[in-house]
Amino acid sequence: MTTLATRPPTTASPAGRAAARGGRARRTLYWIATHTVAVALSMMFIGPLVFVTLTALMSDDQALTGDLWPDTWNWGNFAEVFARSQLLHWLGNTFMYAGLGTLFTLLSSIPVAYAMARFRFRGRRLAFFAVIMMMMLPPQVVAVPVYLIWARFELTGTLWPLILPMLLGDAFSIFLLRQFLVTIPREYTEAALVDGCSDLRILVRVILPMARPGIAAVALFQFFYCWNDYYGPLLYAQTTEENWTLSLGLASFRALHSVQWNLTMAATLLVMAPVIIVFFFAQKAFVEGVTLTGVKG
C-alpha cells in the first residue's frame, strides 16, 4: 500500500503579495475615479431638472422662499398652466414647425448629400466647401434682406418663412449626411448599377436603408433645432399670437407670471417633456448615427 505524500501549500513571496495588493488598489482607485466623474457629471445634468420639478410642485408662497423640498405637492399647477395660457395651441404650432421642417430638410438634403458623396463632377469640392462656408454663416447676417423678401410675399406674421426655406436644404444636414454616405462601400452601388438600377432607384432601394442611422441623427438634430428655436419665431411671428411656438409662448408666460415661479417651472417642464420623450426612445438611433458618421474627405 502506497501512501500519497501531501504537498505543502505554496505561499507567495512577500514581493508577490505586495504586487497583488498594489494591483487591486490601483483597480479600486481607477473604478472610484471613473464612477466618481460619471456621478458628478450626471448630477450636473440631473440637478437642474430635479430643481425645476420640485419648484413646479410648490405653492406660490413657498416658491419664493429658499426651500428645496415642497411642503405640499401641488399637482394642480400643471392644470393651471393650461388654464392660463394657450399651451396646446402653441404645441400644435411647434409640432407643425418641427415636423414639416424636419420632413422638408430630409427631402431636400438627402439627394444633395448623395450626389456630393457618390457622383464625380466638376466643381464637386467647390460645392462641398460652399456647404461648409454656409455652416459658418450666422443667420443674423442675412436677417434683414430675407425678412424684406418674405414681407413682399406677405408671409410675415406666420411660420412659413421658417418652414419653406428648408425645402432648399440645410448646410449642416447636407454635411452630416454626406459624411455618413461616403462610409458606405461603393461595391453596393456598383452591383446595383450592373443589375440595371437607375441612380434614383439606387438611392431609394440601396442607400436609404443603409443610411437609416445617419438619417435618424439628422432628423433629430433638425427636430430639436426647430423645437427650441426662439429667434426665428420671434422675428417673424411675434406680432401674431396665434402663430407662436412653445419657446415664444413660454417667454411670454414667464414675463406675465414672473413672481409665480412654480407656474413658470411647471410650464417649462411641459415644454421640455416631448423633447425628452422623443430623445429617450430615439437615443439609440441618434448615438449610432453620430458615431458612425465618417470623416472622409
- pTM, two decimal places: 0.79
Per-residue pLDDT of the chain (297 residues; tens, 9 = 90+): 445 445 555 555 666 566 666 667 778 777 777 778 777 888 888 888 888 889 888 888 888 888 888 888 889 889 989 988 888 999 999 999 999 999 999 999 999 999 888 888 888 888 888 888 888 888 888 889 999 999 999 888 899 999 999 998 888 999 989 888 888 888 888 888 888 888 888 888 888 888 888 888 899 889 999 999 999 999 998 888 889 999 999 988 888 877 788 888 999 999 988 888 887 877 776 676 666 554 444
Question: What domains does the chain contain, in order, with CATH numbers?
Answer: 86-293 (1.10.3720.10)
Alpha carbon dihedral 205, 98, 95, 245, in 10-degree steps, equals -170
* CA-wise closest residue to 219 among 160, 278, 159: 278
What is the per-residue pLDDT across 263-291, written as a single tens digit (0 to 9) for each?
889 999 999 888 888 878 777 766 766 66
Q: For residues 211 and 229, what is the distance between their CA atoms, to the nearest angstrom?
A: 27
Q: For residues 96 and 169, what is the distance between their CA atoms, to the nearest angstrom?
A: 18
Q: For residues 297 and 295, what is the distance between their CA atoms, to the nearest angstrom?
A: 7
Is 96 exposed, middle or buried, given 0-12, 13-18 or 19+ CB atoms closer than 10 A? middle
Alpha carbon dihedral 259, 262, 268, 272, in 10-degree steps, equals 170
